[in-house]
């Protein structure tokens, strides 16, 4: 079957520094795929390269079997592929109401019936009509991230690229947003590619993951393999043990 996203032998260079080198990943339609690895390993760069926001120096990227040309993406691409970033405040214009923020992508892509679509989009992410004419600064971090998700989903994409979508939120809100994402993925049969430095989040949300280090994919494995300790790369073992150790520490040190 044709992959929803196929990255082959991808290279990205910033002033001679190889941020990605010979990276290949294949994500099936409807799959939830995670990218994990230490800071600077190239996770965000890979997502940004797919979105046309990083300088690709080698390799190819295909969506549904269609190879993308290097450089800026066209409108049709953004109809199909949307992105949700870590900082929802940064991705929402401070002087635009939520209504405007949702109307803009609908207008760009020529959708009709915008009024209904905006109300439905807000409902889908658990925000009522009352939020429609508020400004971003009148929302909490979690509510802003709900708007960012609504903004991505309102144009009915089939692939959503998520760059640390919950790492700016506190733990309880983080869980709510992850549940919302999981629900929308199921309801809309979306394909997710999610970056996180948090192995627990990725193995909970994703069916398969790629472990990245120093601009390379060191291993691709099903999330279940992590729970069963079935990894091959020494680096994956190290990452897993560090994450387990961290969780144990948090558990034992947390106040009763």
Ligand X SMILES: Nc1ncnc2c1ncn2[C@@H]1O[C@H](COP(=O)(O)OP(=O)(O)OP(=O)(O)O)[C@@H](O)[C@H]1O
Interaction pattern, residues 195-234, with ligand X; x per rule: CB under 6 A: --x-------------------------------------
**Least gap, CB of 14 to ligand X (angstroms):** 3
**Among 43, 52, 3, which Cα is nearest to 23's?**
43
* Residue closer to ligand X, measured from CB, 48 or 146: 48
Answer for which of 32, 41, 82, 213 binds ligand X (CB under 6 A) is 41
> Of 1-30, which residues contact ligand X (CB under 6 A)?
14, 19
Answer for which of 2, 9, 40, 93 binds ligand X (CB under 6 A) is 40
52 is a site residue for ligand X (CB under 6 A): no
CA–CA distance, 98 with 75 (Å, rounded to integer): 22
**Which token pair is 78?**
């953004």
CA–CA distance, 236 with 211 (Å, rounded to integer): 7
**Among 27, 21, 109, which Cα is nearest to 62's?**
27
**Least gap, CB of 101 to ligand X (angstroms):** 25
- Count residues binding ligand X (CB under 6 A): 11
Strands (DSSP E) found in 28-80: 32-37, 56-63, 66-67
DSSP conformational letter for 68: P
C-beta of residue 155 within 8 angstroms of C-beta of residue 79:
yes
Sign of CA dihedral 70, 74, 77, 83: positive
Q: Residue 113: helix, strand or coil by DSSP? A: coil
**Which token pair is 41?**
């390993």
CA–CA distance, 74 with 92 (Å, rounded to integer): 21
> Of 165-184, which residues contact ligand X (CB under 6 A)?
none
What are φ and ψ of residue 135, in 5° steps?
-105, 155
**Least gap, CB of 44 to ligand X (angstroms):** 3
**Least gap, CB of 214 to ligand X (angstroms):** 9
- What is the length of the chain? 256
* Residue closer to ligand X, measured from CB, 124 or 163: 163
**Least gap, CB of 59 to ligand X (angstroms):** 16
Q: Identify which range of 35-43, 97-105, 121-129, 220-228 contacts ligand X by CB under 6 A.
A: 35-43
CA–CA distance, 84 with 64 (Å, rounded to integer): 20
**Least gap, CB of 145 to ligand X (angstroms):** 17
43 is a site residue for ligand X (CB under 6 A): yes
90 is a site residue for ligand X (CB under 6 A): no
**Least gap, CB of 197 to ligand X (angstroms):** 5
Answer for which of 34, 42, 52, 157 binds ligand X (CB under 6 A) is 42
**Which token pair is 162?**
């998520």
Q: Which residues bind ligand X (CB under 6 A)?
A: 14, 19, 37, 39-45, 197
């Amino acid at each position: 079957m044709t992959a929803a996203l196929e990255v082959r032998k991808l290279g990205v260079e910033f002033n001679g520094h190889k941020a990605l080198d010979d990276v290949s990943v294949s994500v099936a339609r409807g799959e939830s795929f995670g990218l994990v690895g230490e800071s600077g390993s190239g996770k965000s760069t890979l997502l940004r390269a797919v979105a046309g926001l990083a300088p690709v120096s080698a390799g190819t990227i295909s969506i549904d079997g269609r190879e993308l040309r290097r450089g800026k993406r066209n409108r049709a691409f953004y109809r199909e592929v949307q992105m949700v970033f870590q900082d929802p405040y940064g991705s929402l214009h401070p002087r635009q109401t939520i209504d405007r923020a949702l109307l803009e992508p609908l207008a760009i892509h020529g959708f009709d019936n915008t009024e209904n679509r905006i109300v439905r989009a807000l409902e889908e992410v658990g925000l009522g009509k009352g939020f429609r004419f508020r400004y971003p600064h009148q929302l909490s971090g979690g509510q802003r991230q709900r708007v960012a998700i609504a903004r991505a989903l309102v144009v009915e994409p089939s692939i959503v690229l998520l760059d640390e979508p919950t790492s700016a939120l506190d733990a309880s809100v983080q869980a709510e947003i992850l549940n919302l994402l999981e629900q929308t993925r199921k309801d809309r049969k979306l394909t997710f590619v999610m970056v996180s430095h948090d192995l627990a989040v990725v193995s909970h949300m994703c069916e398969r993951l790629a472990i990245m280090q120093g601009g390379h994919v060191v291993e691709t494995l099903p999330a279940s393999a992590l729970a069963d300790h079935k990894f091959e790369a020494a680096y994956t073992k190290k990452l897993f043990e560090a994450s387990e150790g961290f969780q144990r520490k948090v558990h034992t040190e947390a106040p009763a």
